């Protein structure tokens, strides 16, 4: 792992008064990904209210998740945690027959020090359903880091077989939850380079968790998976390939090249592939070239997205980010710095634990062409003539690999295209963009 | 522990925040972990709010857990005081602060020494009250705080010359509250009663000491405002009217109530004629009930579920004004069950008091009504069971924050409700007839692709991949991929071609 010289990148840390989703939101995409799972969030009405509102329509599709809503008797320890959880889990087992139950610990279970990790193995033996505990709470984590805690807990459960001598050297295990089609696409890109994806954490079913052995190579697809990476390295003794993340054609190429270099493979046709994609993206890039963007920061995808948008010719004013793991993201940071110098723009400052109030001040001063932010600020900023893109969409859209690069720009340019079309009625003080994307 | 994944009423702090954000220039500070400020998202999204929601979190993190909040909360309060100069800062506890048991009151005391704004601690306990009860309590708390602060006495309180009223309980994220308020104002104008104050909607806390100037208080919704009305009654002898003017009968009741109330003050009004004219000419609902259309609704069955206010009023409208058979009526305001049962027990066969959506879902499936009148949840239950549903109460989603004028109260409200009821039933009727006559003439949309004559084959892998694409866009992707393959002279669509098409074809 190479380490960056930090005097070149300007890191700041503010008060942490920023808006983001609670990490328990990860159940919304993980229950869909892991088909035989059931997620039990052990928390209060506050958690339930957040999930029911944030997940909107999914709620009514009978999702495989539920709240174990703590009542006063649970808080004051008048009720026995073990018995209560057993009653609930037996009911879940009866109604849904899951292959695995995840317990998502919350702020409340942290504060009352409910020993979920202690209870789970006992109860697992008792009811004969695997139980995995992940503490995805708002005291410690932000939004997408919830997935990180779940995957780190799953990493412990991956089976370990005795190594067979027929070992194909070009095998990797990829970690990070992606929609099936994106999993297919990335595997397909690697197959072209003669690299086999031995397993994927998470898989579609809990029963299909990949086998992980000592000295296996692992690589992440998302920037928020630090704990999972650490767990795989330290506890499962794997080798982590540190690479930029496959977001945007530049990131995807760098990601594949890094994997190839580990196996001493000379990448085939990657450069052409990348250029091909850039050509296709040109009609979008025309709209944002020379424009400025400001990331308020809430989902940890910010560095990768900023790097990609810089390559598209945008100027990034600020990268807000909830948490910055400089080791896990070092390759991505290096690529960002490289990209800035290639494009001849100033390296943006990276603000960890931002303060939304101060950021709004800076936005007022800088008047960026686009602010990527949470829903709490989007409408008020639009009302003040600032174009915004709701950041959560980047978490749920397909943005990985060559194939999905267009989707990122579709999202980024949408406010610009839309506001351009309705200029005649909104009197937008920021007229942007002269030509529209032709369909 | 309770197994649940959906709830009708939110946690206590939401109620407090709804009150705080309804007032003008009042800022709430939540003592909460990261991510608990979801209220800001809801307010900004559902109400399409142009202003930043005046709610900030004083974040509880690991350090707070280890050492307590110490100066953090105080610093956040004084900082907000400097930045926003609000009239009032409301420190809002959450479920987390409930169990941390920090001395928040002490923080408030200490902070208020330094701040220009007033500072209070919302007196709500997460484990004892829900969103609605908390909103009721917080409103009373703020009113009491300012009345006490101004030191007015019953003796020194001067009433307005003309009869006047305070409207109490119109709040942010309330179900059609903004539209209702317009119609309530019109109603009082017609009754020649001045409006002294509307709280908390857009009210300034520095005006609250003028509340006792009104002759009486009016509480349109049971969910928030009754405690405040009681407080003003206890301290200033102010009578209050708490009949929700939803439906013709309720409006008449309310107006007659006001008439007798005014006569006690020695002001004799006769609203009989007004009621007659409104009922017969302004509201179309009475005539609608007489019309042939409505005859067909006789004997149709419905169920009602929602908050106490709307479910009770709706039950009355359906059974007494439309002649519809209400199989059962229920509310999730379990704490208000006595009042609710008293209101509806003669109007329906069964009263249901529960906040468990599974119970309601099963009951709807069992009783098979022709239409449902409920919340967002019942709408979805209805979808699943193919029973039409009219939404009459919170919790609701964005479609129930309409741009157009849609009150539920007052005479225009009666028209809106008549439409809602009629449309719900006719939709059901239409579906039924369609089924009877073999449905719409629809053809399977995928078979009519442009390329159905073409000679493009799909490889099994690609076809499998296509199957993973969500149904509503699958047809489009299939067509576009085939078009692309034809243009590029591919005979077979393999995985590679499928991806290539996504990358290169113009699918914007």
Chain B residues 303-322 with a CB less than 8 Å from chain A = none
pLDDT digits 0-9 by tens, A25-56: 999 999 999 999 999 999 999 999 999 888 87
CA distance linking residue B200 with residue B264, whole number of Å: 28
CB B498, CB A275: distance < 8 Å: no
CB contact under 8 A, A49 and B45: no
Tell me, yes or no, if B45 comes closer than 8 A to chain A by beta carbon: yes
Q: How far apart are CA B271 and CA A45, in angstroms?
A: 47
The reply, when asked if residue B246 is annotated as ligand binding, is no
Q: Which of B13, B65, B506 sits opposite A439 (nearest CB)?
A: B506
pLDDT tens-place values along chain B, 508 residues long: 999 888 999 999 999 999 999 999 999 999 999 989 999 999 999 999 999 999 999 999 988 888 888 889 999 999 999 999 999 999 999 999 888 888 999 999 999 999 999 999 999 999 999 999 999 999 999 999 999 998 877 667 889 999 999 999 999 999 999 999 999 999 999 999 999 999 999 999 999 999 999 999 999 999 999 999 999 999 999 999 999 999 999 999 999 999 999 999 999 999 999 999 998 888 888 888 888 777 778 888 999 999 999 999 999 999 999 989 999 999 999 999 999 999 999 999 999 999 999 899 999 999 999 999 999 999 999 988 889 999 999 999 888 899 999 999 999 999 999 999 988 887 666 666 666 665 554 433 444 444 455 568 888 888 888 887 776 677 778 888 888 888 888 888 888 888 888 887 655 3
What is the dotted CATH code of the domain comprising A23-141? 3.40.50.1980
Which residue does chain B place closest to A89, by CA atoms? B3
Contacts of B41 in chain A (CB under 8 A): 19, 53-54, 374-376
Say which range, A35-44, A150-159, A415-424, has the weakest mean pLDDT: A415-424
pLDDT at B431: 63
Of these residues, B237, B293, B362, B435, which one is catalytic? B293
Q: Give the torsion sign (CA, A157, A163, A168, A169).
A: positive
Long-range contact pairs involving B175-178 (C-beta distance under 8 Å, separation at least 24) = B175/B307, B175/B310, B175/B393, B175/B394, B175/B396, B175/B400, B175/B408, B176/B400, B176/B406, B176/B407, B176/B408, B177/B201, B177/B221
Is B126 an 8 Å CB contact of chain A?
yes
* Structure confidence at residue B345 (pLDDT): 92
Q: Who wins on pLDDT, A21 or B439?
A: A21
Report percent pLDDT > 70 for chain A: 92
Same fold, A23-141 and A270-425: yes
Nearest-CA residue of chain B relative to A62? B5
Inter-chain residue contact B94 with A46, CB threshold 8 Å: yes
In B11-109, beta strands by DSSP E: 26-32, 55-59, 88-93
Q: Does pLDDT of A334 surpass 90?
A: yes
Q: Which residues contact A424 (CB under 8 A, 6 or more apart)?
A: none
pTM: 0.89
User: Looking at chain B from residue 364 to 403, which residues have their Cβ under 8 Å from any Cβ of chain A?
Assistant: 377, 380, 383, 397
Strand pairing report for B118-121 and B194-200: unpaired
Chain B contact probe: residue of A107, A140, A249 with most B CBs at under 10 A: A107
For residue A390, name the pLDDT band (cuts at 50, 70, 90): very high
- Across the interface, of B59, B128, B502, the residue whose CB is closest to A16 is B59
Domain borders along chain A are 23-141, 171-263, 270-425
B384: Cβ–Cβ under 8 A, 6 or more apart, which residues? none
CB contact under 8 A, B62 and A139: yes
pLDDT at B98: 86
| CA–CA separation, B408 and B177 (whole Å) | 9
pLDDT tens sequence across A214-247: 999 999 999 999 999 999 999 999 999 999 999 9
Contact criterion met (CB < 8 Å) for B33 and A49 = no
Which residue spans within A106-237 are E strands per DSSP? 131-135, 171-175, 196-201, 217-220
Closest approach of chain B CAs to the CA of A325, in angstroms? 18
Strands (E), A65-149: 65-69, 100-105, 131-135
Distance CA A254, CA B294 (A): 69
Distance from B127 to chain A by nearest Cα, in Å? 6
CB distance B271 to B256 below 8 Å: yes
Q: Which CATH topology does A171-263 take?
A: Rossmann fold (3.40.50)
The domain made up of A270-425 has a fold known as Rossmann fold (3.40.50)
Instruction: Flag whether residue B2 sits within 8 Å of chain A, measured between CB atoms.
Output: yes
Domains assigned to chain B: 12-143 (3.40.50.1980), 150-268 (3.40.50.1980), 286-436 (3.40.50.1980), 457-506 (1.10.8.550)
Q: Is A22 known to sit in a ligand binding site?
A: yes
C-alpha dihedral over A374, A380, A386, A391, to 10 degrees?
A: 10
Partner B, chain A 404-433, Cβ-Cβ below 8 Å: 405-406, 410
| Residue B429 among known ligand-binding residues | yes
| CA–centroid distance for B480 within its chain | 42
The answer, for B441 touching chain A at a CB cutoff of 8 Å, is no
In the prediction, which pLDDT does B442 show?
A: 43
What's the confidence (pLDDT) of residue B155? 66
Distance from the B42 Cα atom to the nearest Cα atom in chain A, whole angstroms: 8
> Does A383 sit within 8 Å of B96, measured CB to CB?
no
Does the distance separating the beta carbons of A46 and B13 come in below 8 Å? yes
């Amino acid at each position: 792992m190479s380490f960056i010289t930090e005097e070149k990148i300007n890191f700041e840390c503010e008060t942490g008064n920023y808006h983001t989703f609670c990490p328990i939101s990860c159940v919304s995409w993980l229950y869909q990904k892991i088909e035989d799972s059931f997620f039990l969030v052990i928390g209060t009405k506050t958690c339930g209210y957040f999930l029911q509102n944030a997940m909107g329509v999914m709620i009514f599709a009978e999702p495989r998740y539920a709240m174990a809503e703590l009542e006063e008797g649970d808080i004051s320890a008048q009720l026995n945690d073990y018995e209560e959880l057993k009653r609930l889990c037996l009911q879940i087992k009866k109604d849904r027959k899951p292959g695995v139950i995840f317990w998502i610990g919350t702020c409340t279970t942290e504060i009352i020090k409910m020993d979920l990790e202690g209870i789970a193995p006992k109860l697992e033996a008792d009811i004969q359903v695997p139980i995995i505990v992940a503490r995805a709470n708002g005291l410690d984590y932000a939004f997408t880091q919830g997935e990180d805690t779940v995957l780190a807990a799953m990493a412990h459960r991956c089976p370990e077989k005795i190594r067979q001598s027929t070992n194909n050297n070009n095998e990797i295990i990829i970690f990070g939850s992606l929609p099936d089609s994106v999993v297919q696409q990335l595997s397909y890109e690697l197959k072209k380079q003669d690299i086999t994806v031995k397993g994927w954490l998470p898989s579609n079913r809990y029963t299909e968790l990949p086998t992980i052995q000592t000295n296996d190579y692992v690589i992440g697809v998302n920037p928020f998976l630090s704990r999972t990476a650490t767990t795989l390295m330290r506890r499962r003794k794997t080798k982590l390939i540190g690479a930029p993340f496959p977001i945007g054609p530049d990131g995807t190429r760098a990601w594949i090249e890094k994997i190839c270099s580990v196996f001493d493979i000379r990448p085939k046709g990657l450069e052409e592939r990348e250029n091909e994609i850039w050509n296709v993206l040109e009609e979008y890039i025309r709209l944002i070239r020379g424009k400025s963007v400001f990331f308020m920061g809430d989902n940890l995808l910010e560095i990768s997205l900023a790097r990609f948008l810089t390559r598209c010719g945008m100027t990034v004013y600020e990268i807000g980010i909830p948490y910055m793991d400089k080791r896990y993201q070092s390759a991505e940071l290096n690529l960002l710095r490289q990209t800035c110098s290639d494009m001849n723009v100033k390296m943006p400052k990276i603000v960890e634990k931002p303060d939304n109030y101060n950021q709004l001040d800076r936005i007022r001063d800088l008047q960026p062409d686009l602010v990527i932010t949470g829903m709490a600020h989007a409408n008020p900023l639009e009302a003040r003539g600032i174009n915004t893109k709701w950041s959560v969409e980047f978490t749920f859209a397909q943005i990985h690999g060559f194939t999905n690069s267009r989707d990122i720009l579709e999202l980024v340019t949408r406010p610009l295209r839309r506001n351009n079309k309705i200029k005649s009625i909104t009197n937008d003080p920021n007229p942007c963009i002269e030509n529209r994307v032709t369909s | 522990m309770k197994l649940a994944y959906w709830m009708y009423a939110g946690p206590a702090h939401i109620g407090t925040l709804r009150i705080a954000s309804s007032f003008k220039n009042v800022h709430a500070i939540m003592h909460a972990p990261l991510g608990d400020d979801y209220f800001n998202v809801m307010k900004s999204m559902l109400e399409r709010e142009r202003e930043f929601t005046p709610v900030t979190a004083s974040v509880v993190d690991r350090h707070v857990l280890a050492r307590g909040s110490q100066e953090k909360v105080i610093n956040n309060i004084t900082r907000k005081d400097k930045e926003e100069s609000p009239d009032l800062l409301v420190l809002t506890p959450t479920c987390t602060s409930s169990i941390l048991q920090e001395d928040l009151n002490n923080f408030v005391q200490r902070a208020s020494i330094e701040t220009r704004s007033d500072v209070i601690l919302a007196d709500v306990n997460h484990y004892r009250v829900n969103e609605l009860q908390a909103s009721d309590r917080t409103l009373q708390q703020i009113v009491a705080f300012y009345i006490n602060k101004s030191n007015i006495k019953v003796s020194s309180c001067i009433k307005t010359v003309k009869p006047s009223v305070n409207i109490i309980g119109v709040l942010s994220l309330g179900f059609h509250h903004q539209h209702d308020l317009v119609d309530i104002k019109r109603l009082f104008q017609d009754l020649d009663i001045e409006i002294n104050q509307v709280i908390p909607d857009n009210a300034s806390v520095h005006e609250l000491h003028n509340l006792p100037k009104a002759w009486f208080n009016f509480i349109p919704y049971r969910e928030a405002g009754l405690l405040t009305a009681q407080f003003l009654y206890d301290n200033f002898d102010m009578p209050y009217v708490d009949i929700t003017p939803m439906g013709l009968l309720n409006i008449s009741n309310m107006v007659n109530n006001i008439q007798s109330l005014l006569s006690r003050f020695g002001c004799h009004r006769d609203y009989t004629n007004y009621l007659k004219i409104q009922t017969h000419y302004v509201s179309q609902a009475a005539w609608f009930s007489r019309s042939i259309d409505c005859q067909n609704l006789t004997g149709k069955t419905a169920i009602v579920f929602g908050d106490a206010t709307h479910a009770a009023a709706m039950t009355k409208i359906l059974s007494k004004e439309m002649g519809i058979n209400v199989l059962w009526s229920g509310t999730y305001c379990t704490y208000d069950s006595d009042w609710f049962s008293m209101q509806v027990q003669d109007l329906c066969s069964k009263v249901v008091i529960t906040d468990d959506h599974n119970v309601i879902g099963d009951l709807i499936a069992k009783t098979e009504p022709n239409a449902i009148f409920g919340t967002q949840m019942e709408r979805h239950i209805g979808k699943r069971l193919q029973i039409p549903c009219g939404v009459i109460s919170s919790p609701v989603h964005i479609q129930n924050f309409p741009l157009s004028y849609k009150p539920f109260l007052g005479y225009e409200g009666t028209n809106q409700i008549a439409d809602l009821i009629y449309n719900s039933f006719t939709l059901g009727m239409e579906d039924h007839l369609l089924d009877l006559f073999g449905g719409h003439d629809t053809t399977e949309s995928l078979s009519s692709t442009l390329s159905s004559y073409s000679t493009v084959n799909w490889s099994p892998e690609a076809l499998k991949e296509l199957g993973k694409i969500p149904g509503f866009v699958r047809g489009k992707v299939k067509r576009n991929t085939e078009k692309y393959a034809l243009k590029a002279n591919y005979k077979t669509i393999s995985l590679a071609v499928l991806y290539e098409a996504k990358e290169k074809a113009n699918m914007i």
